[in-house]
Structure 1
Amino acid sequence: MKMDDLDFTKVVTEELINLDLQATTKLGVIAELTHLLFVNGCVTDEEAFIEDVLFRENAGPTGLEKGIAIPHGKSDFVQKTSIAIGRTNKEIEWESLDGGPINIIILFAVKNSDKTTTHIKLLQKVAVLLADEETIEKFQSLKTRKEFIEIFAENN
């Protein structure tokens, strides 16, 4: 499958973006984003999915640099592989590569059966996108959910 065939809009929608997260802890953020996934039909059981995300967290830090974290759960409780994106008002303590706090969280929800398919390629693309400092700076200053989608789309 060519990279061009991958479509971010299949896994990231405006409904799955919240630029005004209220949570002030890592667990709170994961729960808040999981709830978004749940109400949008991507996850069938919030608590069970959160457990799977936390299980993965124990395997190694998901905090990158410059305020971004990419927690993820591969889970039987994911109905539709998706990405939820949140930005918090206050920076949050998180194990990160640069030791700094986090305020942009990109939560990957991956169906167990999707582990090796297109969706994983999509996730890899997001990771590549996040390696770009300019993109990260844009994420920090964006005002609307639509702008987030546009950044993903233009790198599609």
Structure 2
Amino acid sequence: MEIKDVLDTKLMILDIKSQSKKEVVKELIKPLVKEGIVKNQDSFFETIMHRETLSTTGIGMGIAIPHGKSDMVTRPSIVFGKSKEGVDYEALDGEPSYIFFLIAVPEGSDNEHLKVLSQLSRKLMHEETRTKLMQATSEEEVIRVFD
């Protein structure tokens, strides 16, 4: 599974309005519910927030990659979100997060999401990638960053 295999223009929020970690997670889950990928918003939210108690997924450099495995998820998906203001996501470097990738995978699936997580992390280490994502004005531009 590649990043571009699970990126979908219907699962992108180019202007996140939320101001807190919990609000961002809720906002990122909404497109998954709308598209029928997540069956229960509250249950999946709890899954993500439980994962956050283990260690923050705010990896630094302005990036957060919340993720969760749940029987509420029907197929592996990634929601891309971007905040112009930045959000205190309790990132490892103490800086605000601007770029979000919420990874949702079904409970019974193998660890394919870890491969995607690894690919994302490697790609996002490059300042050029982060800059292109911040400058993207359309969903198609976001997808092109990963081509």
**TM-score, length-normalised on structure 2?**
0.92
Q: Which runs of 5+ in 2 are unaligned?
A: none
Q: Which runs of 5+ in 1 are unaligned?
A: 1-5
Aligned twin of 1:3 = none
Return structure 1 stretches of 4+ with deviation > 6 angstroms: none
Instruction: Provide the aligned C-alpha RMSD in A.
Output: 1.4
Query: Which residue identity is paired with 1:123?
Result: L
* 1:125 lines up with 2:119 in the alignment: yes
Q: Percent identity?
A: 35
Question: Deviations for 1:49-95, whole angstroms, at most 9, x for unmatched residues?
Answer: 00000000000011122211001111111111100011123211111
CA drift at 1:109: 0.5
Query: How many residue pairs align between the two structures?
Result: 147
Structure 2 counterparts to residues 128-139 of structure 1, below 5 A: 128-139=122-133
Structure 2 counterparts to residues 30-69 of structure 1, below 5 A: 30-69=25-64
Alpha-carbon distance between aligned partners in 2 of 1:130 and 1:138, rounded to the nearest angstrom: 10
Aligned partners of 2:3 and 2:119 also within 8 Å: no
* 1:105 lines up with 2:96 in the alignment: no
Alpha-carbon distance between aligned partners in 2 of 1:76 and 1:18, rounded to the nearest angstrom: 24
CA drift at 1:132: 1.8
CA drift at 1:144: 1.2
CA drift at 1:136: 1.1
Aligned twin of 2:77 = 82
Query: Which residue identity is paired with 2:49?
Result: L
Change in 2 beyond 3 A, CA 1:8/1:115: same
Aligned partners of 1:63 and 1:95 also within 8 Å: yes
CA drift at 1:148: 0.7
Aligned partners of 1:114 and 1:120 also within 8 Å: no
SS in 1 for 2:18: coil
The worse-fitting range, judged by mean Cα deviation, of 6-15 and 140-149 is 6-15
Alpha-carbon distance between aligned partners in 2 of 1:119 and 1:64, rounded to the nearest angstrom: 17
